[in-house]
A and B are shown apart, each in its own frame.
Chain A
């Protein structure tokens, strides 16, 4: 479990306490704007695209091959992009800040 802050495309900051599961699940359960998660978390739809704040990229880690294949052609993707469904929350991510990518 960890505390995660999501910053939405409209600039709203949403902090989720005791977040568990994946980043996507934490966002959906707390109604974070811009995280649609149409495919339910299998890394197929890219509607949970976030940018990880620079100081957290090492701890969050890079995308896997399938996620990278999806992100390569995603509008607004950069070296800090992750799909929230593929990031598992653990205690080392306590305090993480991610920005929901605009679509």
Chain B
């Protein structure tokens, strides 16, 4: 999985931009690290106040609510984010850390007991779902429902993944929480206030929608990337075991190299020129995380995995005011996964690896997996 071709390198070095049409809209993708971070910080020029249009492709067909807090600008964004940010810091609590450790230990043990597993469906997806129950403080049995939805909770252009089941589920859980509030995420939403009033149901749905969509395929993809890397690099576990301090930088490196979200959109309300490309009023640009995380002016030998890469100023969790709220959760899960693999697993044998190809009009990126079968062997 290392040394994959970087589909953005030539354009990044030549002009720093690649125009790609999505749903018929030509969108300049900002490719360079510094230019991307500058745009991510400048929310007045590159706005998020655009329901359904922050993701690319747009998501009008797969949800009916504006995702919160991401699809807003300050000052609304600042106040919306403050509502749920404390909940997303729960992975720093000792009891949450202990529950994640127990879960990961149990999942790795199950993998070790099998002759082989299909990693996406039998490891990464259930691990992501069960870990989310811990983050949201709901019963683990809820994960059984979420696993049924597949790797992507909704997917533009996929009639079977149109998001209606998610919205139906969220409405049911919010109804139940409103009737009998507890300490879980849904109850927090039904009790929360925004500028002296309760959140509307639409706002509650917007927060909940993002909590389910934002950290799903991204986490699944990164967990699978780690498994695939270790399968292909049997020496990696020994390297990490030799110094426990290597776990933290290794996780950051996997987040950089996976860059599971290729890009995200911003709306230029007034239009203008961006890196030599004209953007009409209301048109969009894309912040291409996958390119910026391979920018050779920032990262030495950017296409290689260096488990002890330091410094590693990657932006795999975004940059600026909209940086990933689930980062603490993802880091806890991934660090725990690596530590557990070091403790319990001797080697992982790859049996069938089929990479996912993200094919767009002007680039093709190898990212994630369509199928990943492996054998986990116990550490002697």
Contacts and interface: CB of A to CB of B under 8 A. Distances in A.
A38 B324 CA distance: 12
Contacts of B312: 42-44, 66
A11 interface: no
Majority SS at the chain A contact face: loop
Contacts of A41: 248-249
Interface in B276-299: 298
A38 B328 contact: yes
Interface in B289-336: 298, 309-315, 317, 319, 327-328, 331, 335
A11 to B, nearest CB: 23
B233 interface: no
Contacts of A40: 248-249, 251-252, 331, 335
A67 interface: yes
A70 interface: yes
Contacts of B313: 42-44, 66-67, 69-70
Contacts of A67: 311, 313
Interface string A77-94: 000000000100000000
Contact of A43 (B34, B41, B310, B328): B310
Given A44-B317, A64-B311, A69-B298, 4 more contacts: A42-B309, A43-B311, A44-B313, A73-B41
Q: Is the interface of B mostly helix, strand, loop or mixed?
A: helix
Contacts, number: 55
A70 B319 CA distance: 10
Interface of B: 33-34, 37-38, 41, 248-249, 251-252, 298, 309-315, 317, 319, 327-328, 331, 335
Most A Cβ at <10 Å: residue of B34, B248, B311, B327 = B311
A95 B309 CA distance: 30
Contacts of B34: 69, 72
User: Which of A42, A65, A67, A70 gathers most chain B CB within 10 Å?
Assistant: A42
A85 B337 CA distance: 24
B113 to A, nearest CB: 32
Interface of A: 38-45, 64-67, 69-70, 72-73, 86
A70 B299 CA distance: 13
Contacts of B252: 39-40, 42, 44
A70 B33 CA distance: 10
A70 B34 CA distance: 9
Nearest to A25: B245
Contacts of A65: 298
A66 B314 CA distance: 10
Contacts of B319: 73
Contact of A42 (B33, B310, B315): B310
B314 to A, nearest CB: 5
A80 B311 CA distance: 19
A7 B181 CA distance: 41
A42 to B, nearest CB: 4
Contacts of B310: 42-43
A39 B250 CA distance: 11
A38 to B, nearest CB: 6
A40 B92 CA distance: 12
B227 to A, nearest CB: 21
B311 A42 contact: yes
Contacts of A44: 252, 311-315, 317
Contacts of B251: 40
